[in-house]
Amino acid sequence: MSQTATILLVLRHSPYSSQIAREALDAALTAAAFEVPISLLFINDGVYQLLAKQQPDQLQAKNLSKTLSALAMYDIERLYTASHCLELRGLSNDQLIVDVETLDDSGVSALFHQHQHILSF
Amino acid sequence: MKLAVVVNGSPTASQAANTALRYVEAALELGHQVPRVFFYGESVHTANMLTTPPQDESNLTLRWQALSQQHEIELIVCIAAAVRRGVMDDREAGRYEHPAGNLADGFELSGLGQLVDATLNADRVITFGGQQ
């Protein structure tokens, strides 16, 4: 491979309606263990994964946002979301548990082009 | 082109495993390589050998097995996702003190590293299905 392999993980679903959000983060951590540069893009209902003050214990579920807070320890520091996905749900950046870069549509498009591989969850 | 195929969707609640199978058949026909299919999330139920659809319905498990044999495709099932959903080989079943395993022949339990490895060694990664 001529260029460094990079993976973009796209997280599209809410945190507790199924296992997919947790399993996507597991895939992210595994890729990080392979020392592959990895970026995460939270879109659609995936933006709900980013919310601070989650109380999943009321659903007898494990708190996914704790894993998000720990991503930096795994050198996963490039987190993105799309402004229209936040706006559509009445959310703003200051409600989120981690620092994410908010992109407009052309920014999202550019992000897809910047990565060699895309894994969609 | 070398393709990595990742299936996330349930074989019964989504069209993902069926579409993925038809996609792989078409890709092979066009001369592309598909060395490995990775089953993750709800798609691990595809590897349950006890799945018994009525005889006049398509049996996805058997179709994947046949395709894998014919074209030497690895069918890798994520071990963590599978065990969580009650799909396991005899060894894992023994480890958890269950009476028997139910992993269909031709499928193999392995770790998420196989997903990353398949991704890095492919020209394209194609993902099927999501939440369901």
pLDDT in tens, chain B (132 residues): 999 999 999 999 999 989 999 999 999 999 999 999 999 999 999 999 999 999 999 999 999 999 999 999 999 999 999 999 999 999 999 999 999 999 999 999 999 999 999 999 999 999 998 766
Cβ(A64)–Cβ(A15) under 8 Å?
yes
Residue B78 is a catalytic residue? yes
Average pLDDT value for chain A: 93
Taking an 8 Å cut-off on Cβ atoms, the answer to whether A30 and B112 are in contact is: yes
- pLDDT tens, A7-64? 999 999 999 988 999 999 999 999 999 999 999 999 999 999 999 999 999 999 999 9
pLDDT of residue A1: 42
Q: Which of B112, B125, B120 is closest to A119 using CA atoms?
A: B125
Q: Is A75 helix (H, G, I), strand (E, B) or coil?
A: coil
**CA of A6 vs chain B CAs: smallest distance (Å):** 8
Cβ(A117)–Cβ(A10) under 8 Å?
no
Confirm or reject contact between A89 and chain B (CB < 8 A): no
- ipTM score of the complex? 0.87
pLDDT at residue A76 greater than cutoff 60 = yes
Question: What is the rounded distance in angstroms from the CA atom of residue B6 to the CA atom of residue B111?
Answer: 14
Question: What is the rounded distance in angstroms from the CA atom of residue A49 to the CA atom of residue A39?
Answer: 15
- Residues in A closer than 8 angstroms to B121, CB to CB, are none
pLDDT of residue A2: 38
Q: Is A41 helix (H, G, I), strand (E, B) or coil?
A: strand
| Cβ-nearest to A23 among B81, B111, B125 | B81
Please list the residues that pair with B6 across neighbouring strands.
B38, B127
Residues of chain B numbered 46-75 and touching chain A (CB < 8 Å): none
Taking an 8 Å cut-off on Cβ atoms, the answer to whether B119 and A20 are in contact is: no
Taking an 8 Å cut-off on Cβ atoms, the answer to whether B116 and A34 are in contact is: yes
Q: Which of A102, A34, A22, A101 is closest to A74 using CA atoms?
A: A34
Taking an 8 Å cut-off on Cβ atoms, the answer to whether A17 and B131 are in contact is: yes
